[in-house]
Structure 1
Amino acid sequence: MSQQLILDLLPPSPPSLDNFVPGGNAQALDALSRCSPGHAIYLWGAPGAGRTHLLRACAERADAIYIEPSDAADMLRDAAMADTPPFRLLAVDDVERLDDSAQAALFSLYNRWREVAATPLAFALVLSGNRAPLSMPLREDLRTRLGWDLVFRLELLSDAERAQALETRALERGLRLAPEVINWILTHHSRDMRLLSALLDALDRYSMEKQRAITLPLLKDLLRTAPPSPNAG
């Protein structure tokens, strides 16, 4: 089953700090939960480490904005030039993908962030990238600004941590997963906890529809009989 089909079967819960599985990232999670106006946090790590989850979770707060590279230039420019920022937190994802115009706008926004940090106009910045600040393929003056405040490298969950997370989420739903079911899921599917959780939700629903206990044969039956996804490439 494709990753897109897993998500199509049953969209996962909206990202939040509470449903993020920290693993070795507890310090970063704690910093994000306490991130207040006037502070900045830069997260970096490999795909699947949870960067987008955490940025979207931060942006779920009141007076917060989430920005993707595709529409970053205008939004960052407007934010940097605003006399009174219309947000208290701004999250910028995948900064390595920003074009020259967006990089210039982010540079201006950082300067604005520092200028108002100790005033009532202060706001927080949370950014993410795929590598450490000084290794980013960005203009030099922007690379240094990524490290102005807190920087955290996000670590991928270990197999044991993912297994524990799946078991915990299953128990929260009143489910019991046999070790063979968990091991099969971890062996054959993405390391991304968002996708693994979506598969667990789909399996829960399928078990209720079929009125069968969750077993490895039931899981394979779900994956074999799932209808084609209209969004699958």
Structure 2
Amino acid sequence: MNPPVPGAAQLPLALRYPPDQRFDTFVGAPDGALAQLQALATGHERGGVLLQGPPGVGKTHLALAACAHAEAAGLRSAFLPLATAVGRLGAALEALDTCDFIALDGLDAVLGTREDEVALFHFHNRAMDGGRRLLYTAGTPAAGLTIGLPDLGSRLAACTGIALAPLDDEGRRELLQCRALRRGLVVEPAAIDWLLRRVGRDLGGLTRLLDQLDRASLAAQRRVTVPFLRQVLAAEPASDDAGTPGG
């Protein structure tokens, strides 16, 4: 989602932040992480948090969930995928100066670009001085990021770090069952086991796969069984290196 535009405040919450991307739909968070992010989003905790982990562990999911949580509490939030603002980050960030909570997703994308690093440094300082809260996501902890501007590196290092790890098989099973239940999708246990043997651990890939199965099940008016899975996925087998919109 891009920086706020005129009229954006009137959009229903579910249109700005997808209903699947909520704290209560996240599986496998470290102990205390969800409570910490909720407190950050609503202003009960100050400062900045750096949420890190490899692709597909749910960083974007939690960033969107935090934004939705802030707005449900009557605060102004913004979600900015940093990859969309490379080379023009200063202008994009200026549009967010009036928000109470800001999630900056994909920090790695803008590091190494001097003007973007400077813009981010100044924005971070403005946010902290104004009592606003920041949530960053990145592929590695602050100490492992390649940052050309030392002052920015020190600001990011001062953020509280939360590390996410890939789900194990039990976590993936819980995720599939939870997402299917929210969609009203009937998936037989044997079908979930079959899927787990054939798909990767990426949360975004699992979510897209459920979307595909939901549409196919509705169109065919069938339960999701192993034979039905084979039929639906025959043309487009699930890939272990699926993209990571839920990164």
Question: Using the alignment, how far apart are the partners of 1:175 and 1:163 within structure 2?
Answer: 15
Question: Using the alignment, how far apart are the partners of 2:124 and 2:227 within structure 1?
Answer: 54
One-letter code of the match for 2:66? C
SS in 1 for 2:136: strand
TM-score after normalising by structure 2:
0.72
For the pair 1:27 / 2:32, whether they are aligned, the reply is: yes
Point out which structure has higher relative CO (alpha carbons under 8 A, 6+ apart): 1
Query: Structure 2 stretches of 5 or more lacking a match?
Result: 1-17, 237-247
| 1:57-86 deviations in Å (ceiling 9; x for gaps) | 33343411222233161245526xx9xx31
For the aligned residues, what is the CA RMSD?
Answer: 2.6
Question: Using the alignment, how far apart are the partners of 2:101 and 2:233 within structure 1?
Answer: 40
If you compute each CA radius of gyration, which structure gives the higher value, 1 or 2?
1
- Aligned match for 1:74, one of 82, 90, 93: 90
Q: Is the alpha carbon distance of 1:133 and 1:76 closer, same or farther for their aligned partners in structure 2, counting shifts above 3 Å?
A: farther
Q: Give the structure 2 partner of residue 64 of structure 1.
A: 77
Q: Give the structure 2 partner of residue 87 of structure 1.
A: 99
SS in 1 for 2:22: coil
Q: Give the structure 2 partner of residue 191 of structure 1.
A: 201
Distance apart, 1:175 and its partner CA: 4.5
Question: Using the alignment, how far apart are the partners of 1:150 and 1:15 within structure 2?
Answer: 26
Q: Give the structure 1 partner of residue 109 of structure 2.
A: 97
Q: Give the structure 2 partner of residue 166 of structure 1.
A: 176
- Paired residues in the alignment total 206
Q: Is the alpha carbon distance of 1:209 and 1:103 closer, same or farther for their aligned partners in structure 2, counting shifts above 3 Å?
A: same
- Aligned match for 1:112, one of 102, 105, 126: 126
Question: Using the alignment, how far apart are the partners of 2:175 and 2:156 within structure 1?
Answer: 31
For the pair 1:141 / 2:151, whether they are aligned, the reply is: yes
Question: Using the alignment, how far apart are the partners of 1:111 and 1:28 within structure 2?
Answer: 24
Distance apart, 1:201 and its partner CA: 3.6
TM-score after normalising by structure 1:
0.76
Query: Structure 1 stretches of 5 or more lacking a match?
Result: 1-12, 117-121, 227-233
| 1:106-136 deviations in Å (ceiling 9; x for gaps) | 11122223323xxxxx211010111111110
One-letter code of the match for 1:192? D
